Amino acid sequence: MLKTIQLDKHFGSHQALKAISIDVKPGEIYCLLGANGAGKTTLINLFLNFLQPTGGQVLVNGRDVQQYPLESKRDIAYIPELVMLYGVLSGLENLEYFAALATGEKLPRDKLLSLLQGAGLDATAADRRVSTYSKGMRQKVGIAIAMAKNAKALLLDEPTSGLDPKAANEFSQLLTKAKDSGVAVLTTTHDLFHAKQTGTRIGIMRRGELLTELNSADVSHSELESLYLQYMEA
């Protein structure tokens, strides 16, 4: 579903990604681990066609994102570290707009409300201006947008950083739910625990290279941690 083939990305003389090939299948949660500057966000931007690859290919649902920028975006939902919304509008209005852009149709209010509830947002908050929301609440609107889209793939950029443990846990549950309904999920994270907990596969990146891939079921938490540190120090 989310696939890259020998993907290279240069920024001038700096090589941000080196021959990355990954393939996230439906029903998988792929967690990318790596330090800051490892190239995780660049990879996400390439999937969104916000950046153009220097070499190789990015495919979403079998389609090259450069050739089919709009079609491929119909299949993905994206939740950044900080979900940014229109502050002067309410959460519900924001959802309505983005959902309409995503699906091409205007959803009825009760459907929107149930989406927000499904994402865990308190019903009383739905009609408040987003400028009053906490980070977690915005994140939930972002999830609701993704759910409204019925996307085949989810791209998440550090989704849990800055969330309190309860919110992070709720978030993980939502991801698992998505996975179970056959969605391919690609998420970047620093959080080893979260990766082990929710991910089905884990990739470790360093300075633009994908060093290893492993099944999270094959390693324990402590094994993962020592492995990670080993790679980082090498």
Partner 1 sequence: MKSALFGKVFLHELRVLIADRTLLLVGSLLVALVLYGFYNGYQETLQREHAAQELAKKQADKHAENITTLRALLGGEQKPDPFANPFDPASVGGGMEMRYATLPTLALSPLAFGQSDMLPNYYKVTDRSKASFMYDTEIENPWNLLSGHFDITFVLVYLFPLIIFALSYNLLTVEREQGTLRMLLSQPLSLAILVAGKLLVRALPVLLIMAVLPLLLLGVLRPQLFQADQLPAVLGWLGLVLAYGGFWFALALLVNIIGRSSATNALALMAAWVLFVLVIPVVLNIVVGLLSPAPSRIELATKTRLITIEGLNRYHDKLSSDYRFTQDPEVLLPRDGKIEVAPRRQAQFLIQRDVDKEIQRVLNEFSTQLAVQQMLVERFGWISPAIVTYEGMAAIAGNGAARYLEFQQQVDRFHERWKEYFEPRLLNSIAMTEQDYAEMPHFEWAEVPVQVSGILKRLLLLVIPALIVIAFAIRRMRRFSVV
Point out which residues bind partner 1 (CB under 8 A).
45, 48, 50-51, 69-71, 73-74, 76-78, 80, 82-89, 93, 97-98, 100-102, 104, 106, 142, 145, 149, 155
Strands 2-11 and 14-24: antiparallel
Q: How far is the CB of 212 from partner 1 (least distance, A)?
A: 27
Q: How far is the CB of 51 from partner 1 (least distance, A)?
A: 7
Which of 83, 234, 57 minimizes the C-alpha distance to 155? 83
Query: Using an 8 Å Cβ cutoff, are 26 and 184 in contact?
Result: yes
Question: What does the buried/exposed string (b/e) look like for 6-37 if buried means 16 or more CB atoms within 10 Å of the residue's CB?
Answer: ebbbeeeeebbbbebebebeeebbbbbbbeee
Cβ proximity to partner 1: between 40 and 196 the closer is 40
Cβ proximity to partner 1: between 30 and 98 the closer is 98
Cβ proximity to partner 1: between 26 and 80 the closer is 80
Q: How far is the CB of 189 from partner 1 (least distance, A)?
A: 18
Q: How far is the CB of 76 from partner 1 (least distance, A)?
A: 7
Q: How far is the CB of 146 from partner 1 (least distance, A)?
A: 10
Which of 39, 68, 71, 34 minimizes the C-alpha distance to 54? 39
Cβ proximity to partner 1: between 94 and 198 the closer is 94
Cβ proximity to partner 1: between 107 and 232 the closer is 107
